[in-house]
């Protein structure tokens, strides 16, 4: 089954809205005509930039999808500092990252919270990018699959097969994020294949064949082609490299 690759740029807490506009404009300029016919690109700026990036994408008819990095699972309420999925939907946000390792490790998000966010994001017709991954300690102890597949089981609880087929799963080994270390293409493929097999066990063949699985962890223009050539890797969740339009455009052009 052919799955359209999704390359997502997670800008984390970087770039103000002026810088975001400039970055998107330069990125668009650098991508040759026709490249985006075969690959989808989502851009996930900080919350303060989303409206500016939305306006740019829509006014210039840019072929980028607007994404968010996080949201709360409630529609509204006394949650100071949080953002409702309903608010994001009003900005025509298409993708929302949930369960990113930094949200889990730094802000204490549990599997149950991540699952609630997956359901809330889909309630508003947006697509979750459900993240999973292991620490270096867990990797060295041989616990990669048990940790990752446990996160998948928990994150997809109560989600229908049709919904699972339409969402995105991102495998991001925590030990490779921002460290310059990258899982080998074979290692990344092994875990992504295990994720797809777990989805197959939870659902059916059609759902497992349809779901897109990204790899995230120090993805660069140099390693993107090998990573993306693996049969169960359908895109990349890119952190630091997505802040550099030149580097991010090279990743997007992985098959060029």
Q: Is the pTM of this model over 0.95?
A: yes
Active site residue 17: no
Q: Which of 109, 134, 172, 247 is flagged as catalytic? A: 172
Q: Which of 40, 72, 100, 134 is flagged as catalytic? A: 100
Active site residue 100: yes
For the cut 80, the answer to whether the pLDDT of residue 45 exceeds it is: yes
Going from the N-terminus, what domains does the chain have, and what CATH number goes with each? 6-252 (3.20.20.70)
For the cut 80, the answer to whether the pLDDT of residue 213 exceeds it is: yes
Average pLDDT over residues 139-149: 95
For the cut 70, the answer to whether the pLDDT of residue 97 exceeds it is: yes
Kindly state the percentage of the chain with pLDDT values over 90.
93
- The CA distance from 113 to 87, in Å, is 19
Sequence-separated (6 or more) residues with CB below 8 Å from residue 140: none
Token pair of 210 as six digits: 């349809």
Q: What is the rounded average pLDDT for all residues in the chain? A: 96
């Amino acid at each position: 089954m052919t799955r359209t690759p999704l390359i997502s740029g997670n800008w984390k807490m970087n770039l103000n809205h002026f810088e975001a506009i400039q970055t998107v404009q330069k990125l668009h300029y650098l991508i040759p005509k026709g490249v985006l016919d075969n690959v989808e690109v989502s851009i996930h700026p900080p919350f303060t930039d989303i409206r500016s990036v939305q306006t740019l994408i829509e006014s210039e008819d840019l072929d980028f999808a607007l994404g968010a990095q996080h949201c709360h699972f409630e529609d509204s309420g006394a949650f100071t500092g949080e953002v409702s999925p309903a608010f994001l939907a009003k900005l025509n946000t298409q993708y929302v990252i949930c369960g990113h390792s930094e949200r889990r490790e730094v802000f204490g998000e549990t599997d149950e919270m991540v699952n609630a966010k997956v359901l809330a994001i889909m309630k508003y017709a947006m697509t979750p990018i459900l993240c999973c991954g292991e620490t270096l300690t867990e990797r060295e102890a041989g616990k990669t699959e048990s940790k990752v597949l446990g996160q998948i089981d928990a994150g997809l609880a109560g989600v229908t097969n049709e919904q699972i087929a339409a969402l995105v799963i991102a495998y991001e080994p925590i030990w490779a994020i921002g460290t310059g270390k990258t899982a080998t293409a074979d290692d990344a493929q092994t875990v992504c294949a295990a994720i797809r097999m777990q989805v197959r066990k939870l659902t059916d063949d059609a759902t497992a064949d349809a779901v897109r699985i990204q790899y995230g962890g120090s993805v660069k223009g140099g390693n993107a082609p090998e990573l993306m050539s693996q049969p169960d890797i359908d895109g990349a969740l890119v952190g630091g490299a997505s802040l550099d339009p030149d580097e991010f455009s090279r990743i997007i052009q992985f098959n060029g």
